[in-house]
Structure 1
C-alpha cells in the first residue's frame, strides 16, 4: 500500500473514531453530579431532568450527590473530570456565580473550567415565617426588626447562599439589623416551623408543600415578577423594595473541552424536556419556572450573574476563607 493510499484511508470518515463516538453519544450511562444533598431543590430538578434525558438517550442517567463547601466540592469534581460527555453537572447560582466572589480562594473558575449546556430553570426565593408569626407582610416583619434591633433571627442554607444574601439585601434596603443563623442545607426549616428562628428566604420547591399545608406562611417572593407557582404571593418590590431581585437558578454544565456535538445534543434534549407540557406543569407545581436555553445564552447569562452577585456579596460583607 502506498503512503498516499494509506493516508487517504486513515483520513476516511469511516475511520474517524472521535466523530463516530460523538455521534453515538451516549453509548453508556451518563452521570449527573449534583453539588448539594439529596432532597434539596438542585437535587429535585436534576432528577426530573435526568429521568427525561434517560428516556431520550436510551441510557441510564445516574444522579450522584457530592455536597459540601457551598457546592464547590461537586462543581470542582466535574470541572476536573474527563471532558467526554459522561460526567455532567447540575448546579445553582451559588457555586456557579456567588462563590466566585464569596470565597477568597476558589478551586475552579466557572467560565474557564466549565462548559455551559443549558439554563434549566429559574427558582424564586420566597420569604416565609411560621404560621403564628405576627408578621402578615414584609412591612410587619420590618417593623418587628426595627422594634427589636438584632433580636430577630433568620435562617439560611449556608453563608453566601442566595438564601443568606436575600435576607442581607432586605436588611440593607430596610435599614434594619437581624441575626443570621446559617444551617447545612434545608434543616433550617425545622427550626423556623418550631419558632427557634423568625424568618427565612428559601427556594420555593423546598417549602411549597409546607406553605400549602399551613405549616409556613409566605410573605413575598424575591423576583421582580410573581412566581407562576405562587401567583397570590406579592414580590418584594410590590412591598416597598424597588429592584429587589435575588432568585436562584439551576443549569447543566460539563467540563471545559467537552465535545461541541455533545454540548449541542445535551442542550437541545434538556431544553426540549423543559418545554414538554407535563414537565413544565410538574416544574411549576414544584415552584420552578422552566427555561431551557442554548449554550451561548447560558454563557451570557453566567457572565451577567457573576458580575451582579459580586456586587451583592460586596455590599453584604460576606466572606468565606
Structure 2
C-alpha cells in the first residue's frame, strides 16, 4: 500500500468500505464445501460443526458436497474461490496431506492455496468385515489372503484416502495381495454389508452403529491407541503390525487470502463448537477425538502430516496418473 499522502487518500474510500463489511461478517449465508459424498465422516463432522456455527453467527451455514478424485475436486473448488470468508472447506487427510504424493499432477497446493483454520478432530480407521463373513480376526483375514492371492477385495472411500492406504500398508506388512475397489465416498459400506467386497478400513463414525447393531464385525483399529468408542477392539500394532498408524483427521480451511480477522473468528468459533461438552461427548461416542486448534497449530500439523504421508505413499507403492 502506498505510504504517500496521495496514496492514503486514494486508498481511504476502499478501506472505509472494507471495514464495515469485515466487521459485519457474516452478513449472509456461509457455504462449507465438503470434498466427499453425503453420509461419510467428513460430511457428518461438517454438518455437526456447521449447525453450531450457524447458531453462533445467526446466519445459515450451507453444506455443499463436491466429491470426486479422492477429494481433489471439492478442495480445488475452494482453493480457487473468492477469499471473502463465505466459502470454506471441510476436508480430510486424503486431499490435504496424501494426494500431493499420490497424484502425478495436482490442481492445487495445500499449503500455498489454502489457509488453515482449525483441526476439528482425529478419527481412527477400523478394520471391518460383514457379520456374515467367516473371518473373525486379522490373523484369519491374512491367512485367507495368503490362500487366495488377489482373491480378496477391499473397499475404500477413494484412491489415496486413508482407508485405501491402511489396507495397502496391511498388505505390505503381511506380505499378501488383495484387490482395491475404490468408491466415491461412503457408499462402499453398502457393498461391504452385502459381501460384494470382503473387508474395509472405514472411519469409525461411518460404521460404529453397524458394529454396535451386529451388522459388521470389527477386527482392529488403525491407530496406536485403542478407540474410546470401541475399547474392546485391539490395535493393529497389538496384533503384530509394529508401528501401524494410519488414522484420518478433519479440518476447516479457506482460500488463501481470506481476511485474517475472519480466519481467526472461524477458528475460535469452530474450536469452541467441538469443545462444547455435549458435542465432545457425542463425537467421542461416535469414534472421533475433538481437537480445535489455532490456525498456526493446524498449519504446523499439516506440514508434519504432508511429510509423514509422503513416506507412507512411497512404501505402499500407490500412485494415480
TM-score (norm 1): 0.94
Structure 1: runs of 5 or more not aligned: none
Q: Deviations over 1:139-181 (max 9, x none)?
A: 2211222232222221112222111110010011111121222
- Partner residue, 1:89: 89
RMSD: 2.1
Q: Provide the C-alpha distance between the structure 2 equivalents of 1:99 and 1:283, rounded to a whole number of angstroms.
A: 26
Instruction: Answer yes or no: is the 8 Å Cα contact 2:67–2:185 preserved in 1.
Output: no
- Cα deviation, residue 193, structure 1: 1.8
Q: How does 1:248-259 map to 2 (within 5 A)?
A: 248-259=248-259
- Partner residue, 2:157: 157
SS in structure 2 of the partner of residue 237 of structure 1 = coil
Over 3 Å counting, the alpha-carbon distance change for 1:25 and 1:132 in structure 2 is same
- Cα deviation, residue 196, structure 1: 2.2
Q: Provide the C-alpha distance between the structure 2 equivalents of 1:169 and 1:6, rounded to a whole number of angstroms.
A: 58
- Partner residue, 1:63: 63
Q: How does 1:2-21 map to 2 (within 5 A)?
A: 16-21=16-21
Count of aligned pairs: 318
Over 3 Å counting, the alpha-carbon distance change for 1:11 and 1:43 in structure 2 is same
Q: Deviations over 1:49-75 (max 9, x none)?
A: 000001111111111111111111111
- Cα deviation, residue 303, structure 1: 0.7
SS in structure 1 of the partner of residue 186 of structure 2 = helix
Over 3 Å counting, the alpha-carbon distance change for 1:236 and 1:83 in structure 2 is same
Q: Provide the C-alpha distance between the structure 1 equivalents of 2:268 and 2:128, rounded to a whole number of angstroms.
A: 36
Over 3 Å counting, the alpha-carbon distance change for 1:5 and 1:224 in structure 2 is closer
Q: Provide the C-alpha distance between the structure 2 equivalents of 1:5 and 1:311, rounded to a whole number of angstroms.
A: 53
SS in structure 2 of the partner of residue 31 of structure 1 = strand
Is 1:305–2:305 an aligned residue pair? yes
Q: Provide the C-alpha distance between the structure 2 equivalents of 1:137 and 1:165, rounded to a whole number of angstroms.
A: 20
- Partner residue, 2:51: 51
- Partner residue, 1:222: 222
- Cα deviation, residue 205, structure 1: 1.2
Q: How does 1:4-153 map to 2 (within 5 A)?
A: 16-153=16-153
Q: Provide the C-alpha distance between the structure 2 equivalents of 1:190 and 1:41, rounded to a whole number of angstroms.
A: 15
Structure 2: runs of 5 or more not aligned: none
